[in-house]
Structure 1
């Protein structure tokens, strides 16, 4: 069930009432089409109740509803979806995204950012041209912990799925079908689905317990990190490349820490798994080693930073 996140920055724009009414009709049609593609239970998530918003500057939703019977019908269709607010109410934990800040054109965006963080779809009122697209680029600031324990704010650009009119849905239908069939929302489900989701990754048995007790606010981050590793390894040709072209930051441990990264491999031999990818919030780590003869990488640890006493 993908969540639909309302882009609050697309509301309250200055325009004439006729244009605002056309935009509202397109918005309702787009949201309903997305809900129909997903099935029962799709939720529209907003920072405040939709009825408290202005469609255009000086044109509140309440006034629009009373203009004509058609508007009342459209409103009833929109209200047929489950509504959730504020956006934090759908996070795994209330503070799950406190390490992140999303901006668009320099302005903080709650709905768009939440759509990216929660791997959902952002929905906008199609008044301004910038919202008339099936994806939107955002600037993301992420507070991460380096290997030496220092905190650093890193910035990058991410793309969020988006729709403001029915045609935008076409590019997301395959993803909606895949999401609906997988339903991977917990650590144990990641473990159970690993062969289907990550065919080029292998896991030591110890990882099952780590995923079984995975903190809920790490599930989405771990999924994304594993997806990037899977993409990199799938494109890797061990005959011509020493290692994959990583789609996320991967680095080895320093010599003094390699001793804490030794684990019993599948064949009973003890080996070093010091290559690691990161996930947030906090110092999340995925430790692995290359297995070029099997065109795979083998994961030994998914959790917090490995401490010397573990």
Structure 2
């Protein structure tokens, strides 16, 4: 489901109304061009309702709509696309509890960060050269729980897909089409489409309920983690390597925690699935074990970090 996230930093800047009017023409054309590739699913997500936005400083969108019949027609085209606000309606804001934060040039950004976290596209009003680019670099800070239970911040620079002109949309047309076909939007869909999406992964029956009840904010991180595990398994030659060459961080549990990682396997025997990959926000874990005889990875647990019974 292609999600377009409004870059709030590109609005309410200081510019003349003529420049703002031209930017709105481009903005509507860009949004509609993305939606044309997936008309049933594309949504425009903004922190505030579109009618409350200022195109430029002291130039509210309502004034632009009423300035001419052409502007009103463009507004109706824009409104035909489903708008979701606030951003938290589809991006449950893990930053609300301090787990995740995105910044651009030192300033916290919600729309750009949500576009990266939700694997979507950021869209900007092209009023300044800063937004005339098909990708934007962000500083990402994330609070992660280590295996010993301690917390630490991880910092990295990430790039988010970004459009503000029709040539930018051209760069992502193929990706939009392919992602619309391949994406699972819920945990239930991940389970139902697992054989097609992850042919080298095997899932214990217990994971069906875990995926069915998956926290919506974890759908994309889980999907991404499974995709990386699938890629590792697909490239794995068990005759050459005891384990796949992991494409995501996979670590073993310590000896004292292995007892909480024992599950009934597909053959009815109880096995230890102490290897685990992580996903965030929070302490998300996917517990697994490589099956060398089949060249597959078997998944036993998808959810929160397993806590020992008291």
| Native 8 Å contact 1:233 1:297 kept in 2 | yes
TM-score when scaled to structure 2?
Answer: 0.89
Change in CA separation of 1:258 and 1:275 when aligned onto 2, cut-off 3 Å: same
RMSD over equivalenced CA pairs, Å: 2.4
1:163 matches 2:159: no
TM-score when scaled to structure 1?
Answer: 0.89
Partners of 2:307 and 2:24 in 1: CA distance: 54
Matched residue SS, 2:126:
coil
| Counterpart position of 2:153 | 153
Alignment map for 1:10-25 (pairs within 5 Å):
10-25=10-25
| Native 8 Å contact 1:41 1:81 kept in 2 | no
Matched residue SS, 1:14:
coil
| Native 8 Å contact 2:6 2:46 kept in 1 | yes
Q: CA deviation at 1:191?
A: 1.0
| Counterpart position of 2:172 | 172
Q: CA deviation at 1:94?
A: 6.5
| Counterpart position of 1:123 | 123
Q: CA deviation at 1:96?
A: 7.9
Q: CA deviation at 1:40?
A: 3.2
| Native 8 Å contact 1:11 1:125 kept in 2 | yes
Contiguous gaps of at least 5 residues in structure 2: none
| Residues matched between the structures, number | 309
Partners of 1:264 and 1:204 in 2: CA distance: 8
Matched residue SS, 1:207:
helix
| Counterpart position of 2:223 | 223
Q: CA deviation at 1:110?
A: 0.8
Contiguous gaps of at least 5 residues in structure 1: none
Alignment map for 1:37-56 (pairs within 5 Å):
37-40=37-40, 42-56=42-56
1:76 matches 2:76: yes
Matched residue SS, 1:140:
strand
| Native 8 Å contact 2:95 2:101 kept in 1 | no
| Counterpart position of 1:62 | 62
* CA deviation vs aligned residue, 1:195-215 (integer Å, no higher than 9, x gap): 111122112222223223323
Matched residue SS, 1:294:
coil
Matched residue SS, 2:258:
helix
